[in-house]
Amino acid sequence: MSQALVIVAHGSHLNPDSSTPTFAHADTIRESGAFDEVREAFWKEEPSFREVLRTVEATEVFVVPLFISEGYFTEQVIPRELRLEGWNVADWDSDGTSADHATLEARDVGKTVHYCGPVGTHDSMADVIIQRAQSVTDDPAVGSGFGLAVVGHGTERNANSAKAIHYHANCIREQGRFDEVQALFMDESPEVDDVTDHFESDDVVVVPLFVADGFHTQEDIPADMGLTDETGTYSVPGTVDGTRIWYSGAVGTEPLLADVILERANDAGADIESAIERVKELTGGVVTA
Amino acid sequence: MTNTQVVTLREAASDEGGVSFDGLVVTRDDNSGTYTVTTPEASHGPLETDELMAVAKSNAAYVTNWYYWTQSDLTEDEWAFLRWLERAAENDVRDRYEALDNGIERAWGEISVTTTISETGQRQYSLCNVADREHTALNEHTDPLDARQIAKYDDDGHYRPLKTAPTLQTGWQFTDLTGTEVLQTIDFIYPATVQNWYLERQDELDISHWRETAERQTGIYDIIDELDPEAVEWLATACCVDSQCLKRRQWDESEDSPLDVPRGDGAFPCREPCSLVIAAARKWTRLEREETREYTFELTPSEKAQIEDLIDAVSDGRTDDIREADMKDGANRYRARYLRAKRFDENGQLCGVTTDATDPDS
């Protein structure tokens, strides 16, 4: 039976680069041949969540949200707009970071949808964050002598937003690879503004857990940290209060994220074991299967 | 024509019901094992197997046409669209094949699709912007994935958040695409339009009208169901007419309350207010919460007319077309700057009249 992958992301009416990581990861997965069809869909662009399922032929569709945390979009907007019959967030049985998948029928097209948890809360995101640290420092062994800041948007409105950041920061801390690991936020404490207060290391890698590069990752966070100069630009590494800051830009642009999308679909029962290995070769991930 | 095509035809003729497609009828008599081939021009038979081969060859157009349209794994909507592209419902096989030799062109929004045919009846599709039909020096593409970048920016390099805005960039062409590839390319440029066009043809288009769509919204868009029907008319006039979007609006205020705004002439339907309309509606909902006030301005008649010209020029997107030295046009930049210098105070307020406090969130 043919199976399709639909990657659903936020997109933007204003920022043309918002969809770029979604397209890039979709292309990696297309190239792997894991699915008969791969399609991207967006809240703010087209195809919309409302119409994407009719653009794929397969009657079995794996939907993976390219979102960082569980919350309003993954729990309410996406299931509603996809018209997933009988959806209830309890189907995920999640503590805020443990959503796996639920199988439902999309009412308008009569297709079976395996609705997966967001990529951002998958365990393997920790690998992507570390890969991002390796990329930005150009050091495959980065860790010793370095601090790592995992930065989230944070919002007082949804506790899950911060949970995902803390979850990955804890996982990476437990690995003992970096001297220090901290979760920091734009809109709640501890704030990224005071990044150097939270670290003793001379070198700190800062990885924002955002899907795409945009105003938040390219302007707000660097400015909040005091990393940008008068022209609004920053260098990597830059120096803030005597600490070298290795700012990586959005984690969502890391090629390895394609692996996480596939892991999500695999967890939901997609028949793609061999493709996962092929994608890991393409994205530089470690073959674990 | 290939041997595979003839062999496939012979096998299909042996199946129950035989072959009957686009004027070609081939049947097999189980008792004698002979075949009969009928086309609009002639009937042949009974034919032995080798004679069937010869007749098939002399009617290659019918055979290759049958093969192309029946031996593919297209979905119903894809099949119907590709048939529409070559005007299959309007022309019989002979006329169509003659036309396909030169290329059959159809417009889909701002895309021009030309269908041609190979010796074996395989269709090949090429695409360009309708405005480039006569141009030859176009950037050539063969990978449908390239269409995403083409659809993203207009000719001035501006981002196009609305895929069906009439601003598709020029200067590109796709050539030698298969049926599946042309459908994928179109889906990247105008997503879901083929599927919705087909649903409409089948009288199965699932329209979600304004009221239903507005009431479905949550979060920051939860408020848009406050917009009254008159404001929905203004909204559709602002966003959903042919000059702004190539989709033909099929949604109304509700199923029982049609909007007066023309639906448009687009080939493909719009089945519900899009995300851009929803985002704009949120802004207008907040703005419509304000009460009107009375302001008194001193303007000459020409200055009042000029303000109207300025609003018209921006609304119609023609500010870039106004010539630098065209002082007759009220929306000319120098004219606007003169008016600003004369009538705005140091705070940018018209005639120095204070604007009442507005909703800080609007």
Per-residue model confidence as pLDDT tens digits over B258-297 = 999 999 999 999 999 999 999 999 999 999 999 999 999 9
ipTM of the prediction greater than 0.85, yes or no: yes
B-interface mutation test, from A54, A74, A155, most B Cβ less than 10 A away: A54
Contact A51 B216 (CB under 8 A): no
When pLDDT is cut at 50, 70 and 90, the band that residue A149 belongs to is very high
pLDDT at B360 over 60: no
Nearest CB to A55 within list B163, B195, B275: B195
Contact A55 B272 (CB under 8 A): no
Q: What is the mean pLDDT of chain A?
A: 92
Nearest of B247, B253, B240 to residue B212 by alpha carbon:
B253
pLDDT at B362 over 60: no
Q: Which residues of A touch B216 (CB under 8 A)?
A: 80
Q: Which residues of A touch B187 (CB under 8 A)?
A: 47, 55
The amino acid that residue B193 corresponds to is T
pLDDT for A288: 46
Contact A43 B153 (CB under 8 A): no
> Which phi and psi angles does B254 have, rounded to 5°?
-155, 175
User: CB distance from A141 to chain B under 8 Å?
Assistant: no
In angstroms, the CA B269 to CA B128 distance is 21
pLDDT for A158: 75
Average pLDDT in the A200-218 region?
A: 93
In angstroms, the CA A9 to CA A118 distance is 10
Side-chain-facing half-sphere of B143: CA atoms under 13 Å: 7
Task: Determine the distance in angstroms separating the CA of B159 from the nearest CA of chain A, rounded to an integer.
Answer: 6
A-interface mutation test, from B77, B78, B154, B159, most A Cβ less than 10 A away: B159
Query: Could you tell me which chain B residue has the CA closest to the CA of A52?
Result: B192
Average the pLDDT over each of A113-117, B15-19, B88-92 and give the range with the smallest value: B15-19
Contact B352, B358 (CB under 8 A): no
Nearest CB to A55 within list B187, B199, B206: B187
Contact B216 A48 (CB under 8 A): no
Per-residue CA distances from A111 to A35, A42, A203, B78 (Å): 16, 19, 50, 18
Task: Determine the distance in angstroms separating the CA of B240 from the nearest CA of chain A, rounded to an integer.
Answer: 16
The CA angle B190-B196-B200, to the nearest 5 degrees, is: 140
Query: Could you tell me which chain A residue has the CA closest to the CA of B274?
Result: A48
pLDDT for A281: 80
Task: Determine the distance in angstroms separating the CA of A257 from the nearest CA of chain B, rounded to an integer.
Answer: 20
3-state SS, residue A95 = coil
The amino acid that residue B50 corresponds to is D
pLDDT for A172: 96
Contact A195, A225 (CB under 8 A): yes
pLDDT for B45: 80
Q: Which residues of A touch B163 (CB under 8 A)?
A: 45-46
Q: Which residues of B touch A72 (CB under 8 A)?
A: 219
pLDDT in tens, B326-359: 999 999 999 999 999 999 999 999 999 999 877 6
Residue B354: CB partners within 8 Å, gap ≥ 6? none
In angstroms, the CA B307 to CA B326 distance is 16
**Helix/strand/coil (H, E, C) string of B185-212?**
HHHHHCCCHHHHHHHHHCCCCCCCCHHH
When pLDDT is cut at 50, 70 and 90, the band that residue B100 belongs to is very high
Q: Which residues of A touch B109 (CB under 8 A)?
A: none
User: CB distance from A80 to chain B under 8 Å?
Assistant: yes
Nearest CB to A55 within list B191, B218, B219: B191
Nearest CB to B159 within list A16, A27, A108: A16
Structure tokens given for A89 = 């967030």
In angstroms, the CA A5 to CA A261 distance is 9
Per-residue CA distances from B355 to B292, B350, B352 (Å): 12, 9, 9
User: CB distance from A45 to chain B under 8 Å?
Assistant: yes
How many other β-carbons are positioned within 10 Å of the β-carbon of residue B298? 9
Q: Which residues of B touch A108 (CB under 8 A)?
A: 206
Contact A46 B192 (CB under 8 A): yes
Task: Determine the distance in angstroms separating the CA of A13 from the nearest CA of chain B, rounded to an integer.
Answer: 5
Task: Determine the distance in angstroms separating the CA of A265 from the nearest CA of chain B, rounded to an integer.
Answer: 23
pLDDT in tens, A221-269: 999 999 998 888 999 999 999 999 999 989 999 999 999 999 999 999 9
Those residues of chain B whose CB sits closer than 8 Å to some CB in chain A are: 75, 145, 148, 152-153, 159, 161-164, 187, 191-192, 195-196, 199, 206, 208, 216, 218-219, 271-272, 274-276, 279
Q: What is the pTM of this model?
A: 0.94
pLDDT in tens, A33-70: 999 999 999 999 999 999 999 999 999 999 999 999 99
pLDDT for B361: 58
pLDDT at A284 over 80: no
A-interface mutation test, from B74, B162, B186, B206, most A Cβ less than 10 A away: B206
In angstroms, the CA A42 to CA B154 distance is 20
Nearest CB to A54 within list B192, B218, B272: B192
pLDDT at B70 over 70: yes
Average pLDDT in the B75-97 region?
A: 97
User: CB distance from A124 to chain B under 8 Å?
Assistant: no
Task: Determine the distance in angstroms separating the CA of B11 from the nearest CA of chain A, rounded to an integer.
Answer: 26
